[in-house]
Structure 1
Amino acid sequence: MSIDLSDSRTAQAHLHHADGSPIRVLVVDDENTLTDLLQMALRYEGWEVKSAGTGHQAVSVAREFKPDAVVLDIMLPDFDGLQVMRRIREGGNETPVLFLTAKDSLDDRIAGLTAGGDDYVTKPFSLEELVARLRSLLRRSRALIADTSDPRIVVGDLVLDEDSYEVTRAGEQISLTATEFELLRYLMRNPRRVLSKAQILDRVWSYDFGGTSSVVELYISYLRKKIDAGRKPMIHTVRGAGYMVKAVE
């Protein structure tokens, strides 16, 4: 399974909640390598992702995390994915479920869809296909999901263009490094939402940096010098909690 992450973001519109907060996806599979790949691909979509390796863990995480969609393997070590789906959907929950099934296991596919699953892919599969199917489910699932092809993220007078990698504030162009751009993009996708150092580390550095929270402080300081210098600040520290971006009021 492989995916060209550099092209997928600009080729597709971006899905998020109507209030700008990220989509939440729960990935359930007992193959750690597979869940790691899926989490990487879905986080690159800008979504918040959690994983579980057993049915019991999946139900517990789902109750706390309240995912917008679940990627669910039918074969799990304790009880199967059909039971997981039923428990997650107790009380009228309509969370869409994309089942993962074994190759050529037609019975699994029929059982999953008959039981109320929304779609399925068979192993082995391409990550591109899975992400595309998941996006389709999310678009159909509920009105709070917004879909836009506009590559710009706008917070007040700060504008970030995901296609051209340009950033401006009040029309003035600001030059950022690749890491500064990724950090700012994450903050701007979650306006007025406090993001912890752990969340920022996981989103911006998780797959190619093994550092500590001090790197977040360092790059926040870099951004402030470029974004807020000589202007009313947009990047705010919430003591003991994290950082957020909000428009100047």
Structure 2
Amino acid sequence: MSNKVLIIEDEESIRGFIKINFNMHNFQVIEAESGEKGLMMASSEHPDIVILDVMLPGIDGYQVCESLRREFPDIGIIMLTAKGQDLDKIKGLELGADDYVVKPFNPMELILRAKSLVRRVGEKHDQVQSQNVTYGPFVIDTYSKKAYKNDRELSLTPKEFHLLQLFMENPGKAFSRNALLDTIWGSDFVGDHKIVDVNIRRLRVKIEDKTSKDLFIETVWGTGYRWRKD
């Protein structure tokens, strides 16, 4: 599937010139002649990147850039700035633009910058996706430190969260109480070792089904605990 680019440029000749070149390089092109329409198109079309002119009628490119970055944090933004206007470049980057190209520009330079940005956005998206750990009805987001069961957020303490993460990342592996203590609380922990059992019990209450017992976290007699592997 081709990458989708939104061109927000009020000058029809420039917009058409950009469109032709992106079409030649297998981009799916959508276009808007104003900032207001550009924001509407971004909401409905979900482009991968936006080519955004600074000087627009109505709301200018800076305002559009700020709105895009706020509403679509993963979108790629390349701003078109006037020659020699360094302040335009700095302001655009401060408001969330990823890159800029100075008018007049070589179309191939714009295409190459767009392709590079698409790759960076894709890599960033993959990294964010890889931060999610899933198992059965559970999803944990290691970035936000939130856990969900059947799309419902679980109210976990930090220690309970890290226990759940450790179990889900190692299904079927038996952990001794000492191993859990060292991993979750640290090897220098000097409190009561029963804290492991207390936290396991609390975690079970929050994640197990009320009609079942130890469906997810199993007790390994004489050892400790493990996450039940399907």
Name the TM-score, length of structure 1 as normaliser: 0.48
- Equivalent of residue 81 in structure 1, options 57, 61, 67: 61
Q: Aligned pair in 2 of structure 1 residues 122, 113: CA closer, same or farther (>3 Å)?
A: same
1:164 aligns with none
Q: CA deviation at 1:44?
A: 1.1
Q: Within the alignment, does 1:95 sit opposite 2:75 as a pair?
A: yes
1:64 aligns with 44
- Equivalent of residue 36 in structure 1, options 4, 8, 16: 16
CA contact (8 A) 1:22 1:46 kept: yes
Aligned residue-pair number: 126
Q: CA deviation at 1:92?
A: 5.0
Q: 1:50 corresponds to which letter in structure 2?
A: I
CA contact (8 A) 1:63 1:88 kept: no
Secondary structure of 1:58's counterpart equals helix
1:4 aligns with none
Gaps of 5+ in 2: 127-230
1:111 aligns with 91
Cα distance in 2 for partners of 1:134, 1:76 equals 21
Q: 1:39 corresponds to which letter in structure 2?
A: K
Aligned-pair identity (%): 35
What are the residue-to-residue correspondences of 1:16-31 with 2, within 5 Å? 21-31=1-11
Q: 1:115 corresponds to which letter in structure 2?
A: L
Q: CA deviation at 1:86?
A: 2.1
Cα distance in 2 for partners of 1:108, 1:143 equals 28
Name the TM-score, length of structure 2 as normaliser: 0.52
User: What per-residue deviation string (whole Å, max 9, x for no partner) do you get for residues 40-66 of structure 1?
Assistant: 111111111011111100000110110
Secondary structure of 1:90's counterpart equals helix
CA contact (8 A) 2:74 2:125 kept: no
Gaps of 5+ in 1: 1-20, 147-249
- Equivalent of residue 135 in structure 1, options 88, 108, 115: 115
Q: 1:54 corresponds to which letter in structure 2?
A: S
CA contact (8 A) 1:139 1:145 kept: no
1:171 aligns with none
2:167 aligns with none
Secondary structure of 1:124's counterpart equals coil
Structure (1 or 2) with the larger CA radius of gyration: 2
Q: CA deviation at 1:88?
A: 2.1
Cα distance in 2 for partners of 1:49, 1:145 equals 21
**Structure 1 or 2: more helix by fraction:** 2
Runs of 4+ aligned structure 1 residues displaced above 4 Å come to: none
1:46 aligns with 26
CA RMSD of aligned residues (A): 1.8
Secondary structure of 1:140's counterpart equals helix
